[in-house]
Each structure stands twice: as structure tokens, then as C-alpha cells.
């Protein structure tokens, strides 16, 4: 079967049984060529830098279209008019000058950038009615839901740049209570996302076409912040992102994506910093992540819907970043059904009592798919709550399902961790082992508990010390 845009958008109606019995086998993971893997990483980074968005230099101040930087006047129509005019002219930068601008969602078009100048804040409305339905992915499953705060679909050459601030205004009184947790403002009797999330999973498992998976108004699946969907040549650079309803930077099914010198400070539920999903050629560099969930999480679709879309993430480089807070530093999964390979992370700094892991791979036997060729080196970690390296096959649905994951080819080199609970927490299945894990020149100064290692083949420790002793 040839997987076309029609199938990806959900026009087909595969059943769960059909997925189990008749879905195409996964293609072999994209392999990193033999030799020095970091030369391959350099080539990926050069390739992304060589494909920046091609946006004409013309500047269109959003104030020329009626936006007022007083923090009160609704500029939704002004932003839309500026983007539309830029597109009609063949492209350009919609410029936000100093001031505070209130708006609903912003939808970018090909060859159009949003440039937020220093001293400018774009503040997004928290009224769900302001967010129309769009095709999107919600935790790895395609559906129609609230538009992300900044969104593009099928566009080429788009950018969000500048030294200003993007404020989603999510808080314990807006968006976050839908998670259903008291620490995020939920009180008994308030609606939560639980029923909608269960329904979305059931629709995907049943093979319901995406156009019929309708949420949005009257439902409680929070929108992502920045989501380029099926886009080519994407740049997010320089901006500060605060108060996100959910995942902050979430490119999906996109190519040549660069996230550079951004600062993300948002501590709400599921507030991941950057989640490239089913993307190829991604460079994340110079970023600061201070988040309520994983700092960087590479994803590739979830369960039945991931098998339907059948699109991997690969050729991803993460470098020169600071991880101040979050769950995992560099994370893969748990939505990784389409497969993840060729992920490189280097020259990172991270430390937080709330940061669970330096490198975290989370999956289970409902996800299926693979994680292959993951390389991490030159990382300085002050403090972790759980493990330097965690590979967990028991995440979420756990074992006993028909889609065992394939995880191997994991390498950590020159990683120093000050304190952690475990140096290594590696848990495969008795009938599905983790295979090929190598640590070289790594030191874990203080590990409170012994390693957890179960069902792991080809574990190699070369010049590794834990609590000062060689292992």
C-alpha cells in the first residue's frame, strides 16, 4: 500500500483489527553510516542551516492594520489582515513593535514571518471560542481541535522571530485546570480533558477518519502553542515563550526545522519545551528550557494512529542548550510509534531537583515502532531526581500488548552527573530486550540507589564511575 496525503489526513478508515493484521511492516530505521556519528550530526546541522526560510525582506507593521499595543484592544483581525496582505505581496515579515498586543490565534502562510521586536509582547486570548477548528495532532493522534496559538498548515518558508515575548496567558485560571489536577487550579465539579482524551483514543483505535474526530468548542483538549504542520523550512528564533496551554513548540510532519536561541519558561501541565514529531532535519540550538514537562521530546505518533500515519522522526540535532527545569532533559517518546532514529544531543547543561532524567526513552508494547541510533555527549548535569539514563518499556500502558518496541543503539559519552537516584534505569521486557547501550567516559558522582538493569543485551561501560568507583 502506498501511503498518500489522503491516508495521512484521515480519509481512510482502517480498523484496529486491520491495523493489527494488515498494516504495512515498518521500514528499516534510517541508519547512521558507519564511522564517526558526530560527522553525520555535523552534516545534519549544516543541511538545516543551508535551508532557512526564504522570506522577502519587506516589513509590515501590524499597527498599520489596526493593532494597538495597549494590552486591551483585540488585534485578532489586524494580525490576520497583516498576514494575508504579506501573502498577497509574495511574502514578508509581519512586525510587532514595542507594546503589548492582545490577539486570538495567528495563522501563518507561506513566505510569511512573524517578527516580535524587543519590548513587544503578543498576548493570546484565553477564550476557547476564539480558537477555530484546525487539523492538528493531540498527544500523537490526529484530530480537529482548537487552533494552536500560532499555526501553519502545508506552508513553506515560515518564521517566528525577534527578541519579544509570546504570552499564552495559561494559568491556574485558564487552560491548565482542564488537566484535572488541583495543583493547576482544578476544583471538583469543573470539566477536565479525561473524557475527550479517552474518546479521541477510541476513535483512533476504531480507524475513524480524522475529519470525524471533532473536538474544539465544548471539549477540553488544550491547544499547543506553536505548531507548523506539514511545513517546510521553518524557523523559530530568539523569542521568549511563557504561559503555554500545553506543548510549546510542536512541529509536525515538517522538514528543515530550526529552533534557535529561544527561551521557554512555562510550568503548566504537559508544558514540553520543544516536541518535533514525525519530522526530518531538525536543529535545536542555543535554547533555554524551564518547563513543567520534558524539555525536548522527540515524537512520532501514538499507537493505532501512529501506525496509520506511519511517519518517523529522524536526523535531529540538539546542541548548546540549557535545561533549567522539566521532567526529562532529552526525551524520546512516549509517542514514538512511527519510529525515531538518528538523534544527536551535545554540549548541554542541565540541573534541577525536578528534572527526572538526563536522557529518557519511554515506550511500551502498545506504541511499537523503534528508537535507534541515539547519541548524547558532552553534558554537564548538576542534579537529577531519577536517572542519568532511563529506558522504560513500562511507561503508561506497559507490557502485554501486541506491538513490542525495538530500542537499541544508544550511546552516552563524556556525561558528568553530580547527584541522581540511579545512574542507570534500564527496563526492557523478558521477550523484548533493549539492545546495544554504550556509556563511555561518564561519571556519576553520587547515585543514591544501585542501577536497575533488566532485559538488556550488549550493555557496555567504558571508563564509567559511580560513586567514585569504576564500574
Tell me the per-residue pLDDT of 128-142, one tens digit each, with 9 for 90 and over. 999 999 999 999 999
Give CA–CA dist 298/332, Å, rounded: 5
Residues 6+ apart with CB under 8 A from 52: 233, 235, 258
- The pLDDT value recorded for residue 131 is 98
Mean pLDDT over 238-266 rounds to 98
- Quote the mean pLDDT of the chain: 93
Name the residues annotated as catalytic.
293, 327
**In contact, 247 and 270? CB cutoff 8 Å:** yes
Give CA–CA dist 126/253, Å, rounded: 27
DSSP 3-state of 255: strand
DSSP 3-state of 189: coil
Give CA–CA dist 160/114, Å, rounded: 5
State the pTM of this model: 0.93
Mean pLDDT over 10-30 rounds to 39
Q: How confident is the model at residue 32 (pLDDT cuts 50, 70, 90)?
A: confident
> Which of the 8 DSSP states describes residue 276?
-
- The pLDDT value recorded for residue 19 is 32
Which residue segment(s) compose the domain that 76 sits in? Answer: 5-470
Give CA–CA dist 249/261, Å, rounded: 13
pLDDT tens, position by position, 373-411: 999 999 999 999 999 999 999 999 999 999 999 999 999
pLDDT tens, position by position, 438-456: 999 999 999 999 999 999 9
Percent of the chain with pLDDT over 90: 92
Q: Bridge partners of 361?
A: 332, 391
Q: Is the pLDDT of residue 254 over 70?
A: yes
The domain that holds 326 is classified in CATH as 2.160.20.10
Residues 6+ apart with CB under 8 A from 27: none
- The pLDDT value recorded for residue 28 is 57
Give CA–CA dist 96/100, Å, rounded: 9
Nearest to 296 by CA among 353, 340, 338: 340
- The pLDDT value recorded for residue 354 is 86
CA angle 407, 453, 388 (to 5 degrees): 80
Segments of 428-467 assigned E as strands? 434-447, 452-454, 456-466
- The pLDDT value recorded for residue 33 is 82
Task: Indicate the number of domains in the chain.
Answer: 1
Asked which of 17-21, 174-178, 201-205, 274-278 is least confident by mean pLDDT, the reply is 17-21
Amino acid at each position: 500500500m502506498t501511503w498518500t496525503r489522503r491516508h495521512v489526513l484521515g480519509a481512510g478508515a482502517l480498523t484496529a483489527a486491520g491495523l493489527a493484521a494488515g498494516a504495512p511492516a515498518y521500514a528499516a530505521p534510517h541508519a547512521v553510516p558507519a564511522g564517526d556519528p558526530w560527522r553525520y550530526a555535523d552534516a545534519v546541522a549544516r543541511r538545516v542551516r543551508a535551508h532557512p526560510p526564504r522570506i522577502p525582506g519587506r516589513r509590515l507593521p501590524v499597527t498599520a492594520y489596526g493593532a494597538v499595543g495597549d494590552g486591551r484592544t483585540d488585534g485578532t483581525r489586524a494580525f490576520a489582515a497583516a498576514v494575508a496582505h504579506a501573502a498577497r505581496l509574495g511574502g514578508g515579515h509581519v512586525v510587532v513593535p514595542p507594546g503589548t498586543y492582545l490577539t486570538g490565534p495567528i495563522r501563518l502562510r507561506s513566505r510569511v514571518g512573524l517578527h516580535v521586536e524587543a519590548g513587544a509582547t503578543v498576548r493570546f486570548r484565553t477564550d476557547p471560542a476564539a480558537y477555530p477548528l484546525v487539523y492538528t495532532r493531540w498527544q500523537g493522534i490526529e484530530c480537529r481541535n482548537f487552533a494552536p496559538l500560532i499555526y501553519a498548515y502545508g506552508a513553506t518558508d515560515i518564521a517566528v522571530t525577534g527578541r519579544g515575548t509570546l504570552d499564552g496567558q495559561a494559568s491556574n485560571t485558564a487552560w491548565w485546570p482542564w488537566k484535572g489536577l488541583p495543583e493547576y487550579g482544578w476544583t471538583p465539579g469543573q470539566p477536565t480533558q479525561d473524557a475527550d482524551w479517552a474518546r479521541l483514543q477510541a476513535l483512533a483505535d476504531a480507524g475513524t477518519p480524522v475529519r470525524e474526530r471533532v473536538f474544539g468548542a465544548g471539549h477540553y483538549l488544550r491547544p499547543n502553542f506553536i505548531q507548523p504542520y506539514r511545513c517546510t523550512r521553518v524557523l523559530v528564533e530568539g523569542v521568549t515563550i511563557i504561559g503555554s496551554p500545553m506543548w510549546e513548540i510542536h512541529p509536525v510532519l515538517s522538514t528543515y526545522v530550526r529552533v534557535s536561541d529561544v527561551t521557554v519558561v512555562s510550568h503548566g501541565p504537559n508544558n514540553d519545551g520543544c516536541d518535533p514529531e514525525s519530522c526530518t532535519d531538525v536543529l535545536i540550538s542555543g535554547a533555554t528550557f524551564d518547563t513543567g514537562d520534558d524539555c525536548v521530546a522527540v515524537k512520532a505518533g501514538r499507537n493505532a494512529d501512529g501506525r496509520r500515519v506511519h511517519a518517523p522522526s529522524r536526523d535531529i540535532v540538539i546542541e548548546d542548550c540549557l535545561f533549567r527545569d522539566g521532567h526529562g532533559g532529552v526525551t524520546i517518546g512516549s509517542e514514538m510509534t512511527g519510529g525515531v532514529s538518528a538523534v544527536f544531543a551535545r554540549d548541554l547543561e542541565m540541573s534541577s531537583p525536578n528534572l527526572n532524567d538526563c536522557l529518557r526513552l519511554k515506550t511500551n508494547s502498545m506504541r511499537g515502532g523503534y528508537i535507534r541510533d541515539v547519541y548524547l555527549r558532552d553534558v554537564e548535569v548538576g542534579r537529577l531526581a531519577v536517572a542519568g539514563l532511563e529506558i522504560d518499556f513500562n511507561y503508561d500502558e506497559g507490557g502485554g500488548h501486541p506491538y513490542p518496541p525495538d530500542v537499541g543503539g544508544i550511546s552516552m559519552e563524556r556525561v558528568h552527573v553530580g547527584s541522581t537516584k540511579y545512574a542507570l534505569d534500564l527496563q526492557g521486557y523478558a521477550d523484548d530486550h533493549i539492545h546495544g547501550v554504550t556509556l563511555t567516559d561518564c561519571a556519576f558522582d553520587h547515585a543514591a540507589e544501585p542501577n536497575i538493569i533488566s532485559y538488556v543485551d550488549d550493555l557496555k561501560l567504558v571508563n564509567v564511575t559511580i560513586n567514585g568507583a569504576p564500574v
